[in-house]
């Protein structure tokens, strides 16, 4: 949809062109009839059609500026392309009539031409007016990517050339009159008209061909290739199908399918689509893009990631996927999350189907053990009860010390429904470790700590251990995540 400034500017440009076309057509016709010059009369017909074409351009840019609606979801921009097609057909019809009359005058009948100073004045004036109109319309066409304005600009550049040819024809005819109209000099005006008609044929043919190409969704192959390459270069994209383009007025609409690793999350996929859209806009800023994402197994995918991807395809949620090599085959274990109301029978069937699917995809998987657990429910009402349960806090401190894994415990929090309830308590503790220790080792140490805590406090429901670099302990622990 055009802005108000664009609509106003385009309307102003086309209205000026309409007025200039009308004045030129009237002047050329009047002088052509007075002198009997077929070249001038053909130019008058050409200018009259230019006047009609400019009226069509004015109407088309007004309609094309309307916003998209329920019946025209891509907007009304193609009205400009339809207008350009009609202009091309009208110009071809005019050229045919001029060619017929030119051939008739050259070979079959003799028509006297009486060149006058006014004929030259009008034609020279026409050249300068067409130059001015062409430059004005070309600037607007480039500014707003308007094919209708570009068509008008091309028309007027052709008019400049044809006007020069008519001037030459009149000059030769005048010279022939001075020497008695001998030979072909007397037919120079008709020859000039024929040249004008042939120029009109070429220009109108190009105009109509391009406009029809847009209506038939023809798009430049080089532009498609550049857009496809730009999309494929976006981080996270494995491959990209060729872009499909369609043009409507001043806008391009692109559809593209990109392939991303199947382990990509929905949020990550959305970010990738936005980056693809931006990469295509960098190639052509006026493009509006729809991106379709397809999952694909990447060569970097691990066996554990493959199991997670299979679960996602089945609509199952898993975590703690662990794959080990045992002899000449692989064995895996994982946790499957199910809804609390799901029966054991159905939960077991889900696990069985998941195992079978994972083994079909990776024949090396000889054994897959699954732990079925209830998915995390919605948040429940809890409160911190550390002050009422110092025994729990002290037991946690003893467990960390007994684990002997180099953890510096600096915070323990106990949560429960009330201060008296022992079953169902949750414990959160923050521990500092050496900052350069690999996370694999940190995870092993926190598991040892959890085992010691649960051995001393078997009634605990959840144990969350947040690990952080020892020099940062106590600074950011309240916002940290569990290891």
Nearest Cα to Cα of residue 152 among 144, 166, 141, 162: 141
Contacts of residue 148, Cβ cutoff 8 Å, sequence gap at least 6: 56, 57, 60, 61, 64, 80, 81, 83, 84
* pLDDT tens column, 188-226: 667 777 777 787 788 778 777 777 776 766 666 788 899
Better pLDDT: 427 or 164 = 427
pLDDT band at 25 (very low <50, low <70, confident <90, very high): confident
Q: Which two tokens stand for residue 423?
A: 């079953």
pLDDT over threshold 70, residue 454: yes
Q: How far apart are the first and last CA of the chain?
A: 51
pLDDT over threshold 80, residue 345: yes
CATH number given to 4-215: 1.20.1510.10
Q: How many CB atoms lie within 10 A of CB 147?
A: 25
Please tell me the least confidently modeled range out of 6-15, 331-340, 461-470. Answer: 6-15
303-374 homologous superfamily: Cation efflux protein, cytoplasmic domain (3.30.70.1350)
Query: For 80-107, what is the mean pLDDT?
Result: 75
Percentage of the chain surpassing pLDDT 70?
A: 73
* pLDDT tens column, 102-149: 787 777 776 555 566 777 777 788 788 878 877 887 777 777 666 667
CATH number given to 383-479: 3.30.70.1350
Output the pLDDT for position 146: 67
pTM (two decimals):
0.57
Query: CATH for 221-296, among 3.30.70.1350, 1.10.10.10, 3.60.20.10, 3.60.40.10?
Result: 3.30.70.1350
Most confident segment among 22-36, 40-54, 68-82, 162-176: 22-36
At CA 419, angle to CA 414 and CA 422, rounded to 5? 70
* pLDDT tens column, 261-285: 988 888 999 999 999 999 999 998 8
The Cα diameter of the chain in Å comes to 129
Spans of all domains in the chain: 4-215, 221-296, 303-374, 383-479
| Fold equal for 303-374 and 383-479 | yes
| β-bridge mates for residue 465, sequence order | 429
Output the pLDDT for position 78: 67
CA separation for the pair 459, 462 (Å, rounded) = 9
Output the pLDDT for position 85: 77
Query: For 377-405, what is the mean pLDDT?
Result: 87
């Amino acid at each position: 949809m055009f802005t108000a400034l664009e609509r106003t500017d385009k309307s102003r440009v086309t209205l000026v062109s309409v007025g200039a076309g009308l004045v030129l057509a009237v002047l050329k016709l009047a002088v052509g009839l007075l002198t009997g010059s077929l070249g001038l009369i053909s130019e008058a017909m050409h200018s009259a059609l230019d006047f009609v074409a400019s009226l069509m351009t004015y109407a088309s840019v007004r309609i094309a500026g309307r916003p998209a609606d329920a019946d025209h979801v891509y907007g009304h921009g193609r009205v400009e392309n339809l207008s350009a097609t009609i202009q091309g057909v009208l110009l071809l019809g005019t050229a045919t009539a001029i060619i017929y009359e030119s051939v008739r005058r050259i070979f079959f009948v003799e028509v006297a031409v009486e060149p006058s100073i006014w004929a030259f004045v009008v034609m020279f004036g026409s050249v300068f007016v067409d130059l001015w109109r062409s430059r004005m319309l070309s600037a607007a066409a480039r500014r707003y990517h308007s094919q209708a304005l570009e068509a008008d600009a091309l028309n007027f550049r052709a008019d400049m050339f044809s006007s020069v040819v008519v001037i030459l024809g009149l000059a030769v005819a005048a010279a022939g009159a001075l020497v008695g109209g001998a030979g072909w000099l007397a037919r120079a005006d008709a020859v000039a008209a024929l040249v004008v008609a042939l120029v009109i044929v070429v220009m109108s043919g190009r105009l109509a061909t391009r406009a029809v190409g847009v209506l038939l969704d023809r798009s430049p192959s080089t532009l498609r290739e550049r857009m496809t390459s730009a999309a494929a270069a976006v981080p996270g994209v494995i491959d990209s199908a060729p872009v499909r383009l369609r043009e409507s007025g001043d806008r391009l609409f692109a559809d593209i399918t990109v392939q991303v690793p199947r382990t990509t999350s929905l949020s990550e996929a959305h970010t990738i689509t936005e980056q693809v859209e931006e990469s295509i806009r960098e190639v052509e800023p006026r493009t509006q893009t729809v991106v379709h994402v397809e999952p694909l197994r990447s060569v970097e995918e691990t066996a554990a990631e493959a199991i997670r991807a299979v679960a996602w395809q089945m609509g199952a949620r898993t975590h703690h996927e662990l794959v080990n090599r045992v002899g000449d085959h692989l064995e895996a274990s994982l946790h499957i999350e199910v809804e609390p109301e799901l029966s054991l029978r159905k939960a077991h069937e889900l696990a069985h189907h998941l195992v079978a699917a994972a083994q079909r995809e990776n024949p090396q998987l000889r054994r897959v053990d699954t732990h079925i657990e209830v998915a995390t429910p919605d948040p429940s009402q809890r409160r911190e009860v550390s002050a009422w349960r110092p025994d729990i806090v002290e037991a946690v401190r003893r467990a960390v010390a007994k684990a002997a894994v180099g953890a510096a415990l600096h915070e323990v929090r106990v949560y429960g429904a009330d201060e008296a309830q022992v079953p169902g308590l949750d414990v959160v503790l923050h521990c500092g470790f050496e900052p350069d220790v690999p996370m694999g080792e940190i995870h092993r140490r926190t598991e040892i700590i959890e085992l010691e805590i649960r051995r001393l406090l078997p009634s605990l429901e959840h144990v969350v251990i947040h690990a952080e670099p020892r020099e940062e302990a106590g600074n950011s622990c309240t916002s940290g995540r569990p290891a």
